[in-house]
């Protein structure tokens, strides 16, 4: 069973109502996409369900302030399970795209799109990755 919370989007941050997910009315295609995305997350966590909580994520209140005060409307390191905005960069475009990912922050095809604007970046705490930013 899917839980709606990871797929909800803030009305204040997006300018629209939250997306509610009910497995009773979901098409099979969405369920296949959700399975693939969740399987990838589980694989990246080494098969440990609780490993995903080992990050220092910002709370929704922080995102609301960043959006309101600085015009932030996209995260550069997110997943469908923790993204605050409808469009975000993630490590797994192949399975995250149906949920709003535009690809990796490091993708050359995004250079132009990310060349101006306000973005939130909370990368994994890996020194080479942070240095590459």
Per-residue pLDDT tens digits for 4-62: 444 444 333 444 444 455 566 667 888 888 889 988 888 877 766 666 555 667 888 89
Question: If DSSP codes are grouped into helix, strand and coil, which group holds residue 92?
Answer: coil
Residue 106 has pLDDT above 90, yes or no: yes
Residue 2 has pLDDT above 50, yes or no: no
Close Cβ partners of 2 (under 8 Å, ≥ 6 residues apart)? 21, 23, 26, 31, 34
In angstroms, rounded to a whole number, what is the distance separating the alpha carbons of residues 107 and 80?
18
pLDDT for res 56: 66
Helices (H) and strands (E) in the chain, counts: 5, 0
Check residues 111 and 27 and name the one with the higher pLDDT.
111
Question: Taking the CB of residue 104, how many other CB atoms lie within 10 A of it?
Answer: 17
In this predicted model, what pLDDT tens digit does every residue of 61-98 receive, in sequence order?
Answer: 899 999 999 999 999 999 888 888 888 999 899 999 88
Phi, psi of 36 (to 5 degrees): -60, -45
Q: How large is the average pLDDT for residues 103-124? A: 91
In angstroms, rounded to a whole number, what is the distance separating the alpha carbons of residues 116 and 35?
34
pLDDT for res 55: 60
pLDDT for res 64: 92
**Residue 117: band (very low, low, confident or very high) from pLDDT cuts 50, 70, 90:** very high
In angstroms, rounded to a whole number, what is the distance separating the alpha carbons of residues 33 and 38?
9
């Amino acid at each position: 069973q899917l839980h709606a919370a990871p797929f909800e989007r803030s009305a204040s941050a997006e300018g629209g109502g939250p997306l509610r997910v009910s497995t009773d009315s979901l098409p099979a295609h969405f369920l296949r996409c959700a399975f693939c995305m969740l399987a990838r997350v589980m694989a990246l966590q080494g098969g440990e369900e609780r490993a995903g909580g080992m990050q220092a994520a910002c709370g929704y209140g922080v995102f609301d302030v960043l959006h309101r005060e600085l015009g932030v409307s996209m995260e550069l390191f997110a997943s469908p399970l923790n993204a605050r905005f409808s469009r975000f960069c993630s490590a797994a475009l192949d399975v995250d795209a149906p949920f709003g990912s535009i690809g990796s922050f490091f993708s050359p095809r995004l250079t132009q799109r990310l060349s101006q604007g306000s973005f939130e970046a909370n990368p994994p705490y890996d020194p080479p990755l942070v240095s590459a930013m």
